[in-house]
Structure 1
Amino acid sequence: MELRHLRCFIVLAEELHFTRAAERLHIEQSPLSRTIKDMEDELGVVLFKRNRRGTHLTPAGEVFLQDVRRVFTSLDQATASAKAAASGYRGTLRIAVSDGAAEPRLAALLARCREEDPEVEIRLFDVPLAEQLRGLRKGAFDAGFARSSEAGNDIVARAVWSDPLVVAMAARHPLLVHAQIPLEELLRYPLVMCHPHECEGYLQQIAKLLRAVNVEPVVSGHASSLSIALTLVAAGYGLCFVTATEIGMYRHPDVAARALQGLQDEAKLMTYLLYPQTEISEPLSRFIERIQPRDVDGMPLP
């Protein structure tokens, strides 16, 4: 089985449509179908199920997709490491970022690392939380940032940054009459939430906040990114929980924000640094030491 066959499989798994996948691969549909059939014959399993509703991954196909993606991640990392060594770097840190945790404080940290440790290359990987945890355990990543502390006993989860949550809404939404929004009043309206696959840790913290009231939220849709979520909010599809930092970064002319009433201590989104609970390298140790855990008011976190 060749790498080009695996690339065909990944593209089809992403598109779940043979014609679109063939267009992305710049091949005809027939060779793509033969490639997938040959892979299934070689593996002895069915990877895709096709019916009148479309093309779907089988359970075996979903498992195979996860492992194949790790193959390409390892290949990319090996290629980048070789190039880094040729360019004079003496070390590499592979940092995963999940749940939209790439914020200005991470940029400031990376700038400090470049200034104080220029011989160590830092590579960032934007991955779902589940993939980050697998990568930390298998050695694909050295550390990561996420919005969840539920990492298991073998992963250190250290709170590093905290941001207040605000409610984003359309610029003419009726809730704008409130300077601060009561949570019970907010839940009378539908919510736009981040997709569970992309923002698992974010949703864990939002669910914990919503358990403070005995009201089941109505979710009007899921978005794969904050920019998509704010687009849906501006169009009136619902309200969205974002951090004060994010609303400042994504200034949307048709979106306004309000704080939550009486929940200043609870309505915060925590960012965690994750790394394996094993002996860590010198570059990673210096990286961790540069992180100054702070809350939203600039005070050290406990």
Structure 2
Amino acid sequence: MELRHLRCFIAVAEELHFARAADKLHIEQSPLSRAIKELEEELGVRLFDRTTRSTRLTRAGKLFLEHVPRVFAALDQARGSVRAAAAGYQDQLRIALSDGITPPRFIALLAQCRQDEPEVDIRLYEVPLSQQIRGLHDDLYDVGFAQSANVGDGILAEAAWSDPLVVAVPARHPLLMHKRIPLDEVLRYPLVMCDPQLCEGYGRQIARVLRAVDVEPLVAEEVASLDLMLALVAAGYALALVGSSQVAACRNADVVGRPLAGRSPMLTTYLLRRDAEPSETLSRFIDRVSPISAEALLTEEPSHTSDITKEINS
């Protein structure tokens, strides 16, 4: 089995069309078909059900597709490790990020790591939560951050920091008459949400908040990032439910963060790692997380967050 076989398999699995897959790989269709046939013969199974009208993955093909991308991820990481060693780094820390991690706190953490251990090469990987969990199990990542503690056996989830949940509202919106906005009032307007597959942990925490009222939210759009979410809020497209530090970090005068009425819910970010003895480098990284998070709470960028915090505490 060669890498070209795996590249051909992934292209066909993604396109489910041999001609389009061949175009994607910049090869003729006949060598592509031959590569798939060779792969199936070596594995002893059919990976695709192919007719004149359609191409579908078999059950074996679907299972194979779960594993093949990890081969390329491991190769990319091996290349990165070699390059890091050639550049003079003494060690490497691979960090996976899911759910649009809160910028001010994570930036402060990275800055502290760079100051304390400049000889450690830090690699960041933005991935969905399910991919992060698989990667931690497969030793593709050393540690991760996500907004979910529902990670299954073999992975530890430790609360790293919490962020007050606020309503991101366009400037001059009628809801700004409230210093603290009732949730049922929020749900009278369209919401922009993160794609639940890309921001799985965030989606779960927001769903728990929305279950407090018996009203189905009107979702105007599902987006791939919190940055785009807040851009749509600034444009007056919809409201959003986000962490207060996300509003502060966007630094957009057209987005105002207001706390919810009653006890303010919190968005919790968790540090995820394998349930095993951590390396010395990882142990030092974990030790930095709590103090950096506490310091960030005191020094977060100014007006939006401080105003929101005053309102939450009032």
TM-score (norm 1): 0.83
The alignment status of 1:198 with 2:237, answered yes or no, reads: no
For residue 154 of structure 1, what is the aligned residue in structure 2? 154
For residue 302 of structure 2, what is the aligned residue in structure 1? none
For residue 131 of structure 2, what is the aligned residue in structure 1? 131
Give the gaps of 5 or more residues in structure 2: 300-314
Deviation at 1:129, TM superposition (A): 0.9
What are the superposed Cα offsets for residues 163-209 of structure 1, whole Å, 9 maximum, x if unpaired? Answer: 12222244454433333321011122332221121111101111121
3-state SS of paired residue (2:136)? helix
Q: 66-75 or 103-112, which moves further after superposition?
A: 103-112
For residue 267 of structure 2, what is the aligned residue in structure 1? 269
Deviation at 1:282, TM superposition (A): 0.6
Deviation at 1:236, TM superposition (A): 5.3
The alignment status of 1:215 with 2:237, answered yes or no, reads: no
Q: How many percent of aligned residue pairs carry the same amino acid?
A: 56
Identify if the C-alpha distance between structure 1 residues 86 and 278 changes in structure 2 by more than 3 Å, giving closer, same or farther.
same
Deviation at 1:158, TM superposition (A): 1.3
Deviation at 1:48, TM superposition (A): 6.9
For residue 112 of structure 1, what is the aligned residue in structure 2? 112
**RMSD of aligned C-alpha atoms?**
3.1
Identify if the C-alpha distance between structure 1 residues 165 and 117 changes in structure 2 by more than 3 Å, giving closer, same or farther.
same
Which amino acid is 1:275 matched to?
Answer: R
The alignment status of 1:278 with 2:276, answered yes or no, reads: yes
Q: Distance in 1 between matches of 2:39 and 2:181?
A: 55
Alpha carbons 1:163, 1:296 under 8 Å: kept: no
Give the gaps of 5 or more residues in structure 1: none
Identify if the C-alpha distance between structure 1 residues 167 and 28 changes in structure 2 by more than 3 Å, giving closer, same or farther.
farther
Q: Distance in 1 between matches of 2:172 and 2:52?
A: 45
TM-score (norm 2): 0.80
Deviation at 1:235, TM superposition (A): 5.5
- The structure with the largest helix share of the pair is 2
Alpha carbons 1:162, 1:296 under 8 Å: kept: no
Q: 237-246 or 281-290, which moves further after superposition?
A: 237-246
Q: Distance in 1 between matches of 2:82 and 2:298?
A: 40
Query: How many residues are paired up?
Result: 296
Identify if the C-alpha distance between structure 1 residues 173 and 38 changes in structure 2 by more than 3 Å, giving closer, same or farther.
farther
Q: Distance in 2 between matches of 1:50 and 1:252?
A: 53
3-state SS of paired residue (1:150)? coil
The alignment status of 1:45 with 2:43, answered yes or no, reads: no
Alpha carbons 2:167, 2:259 under 8 Å: kept: yes
For residue 95 of structure 2, what is the aligned residue in structure 1? 95
For residue 180 of structure 1, what is the aligned residue in structure 2? 180
For residue 242 of structure 1, what is the aligned residue in structure 2? 242
Q: Distance in 2 between matches of 1:27 and 1:253?
A: 50
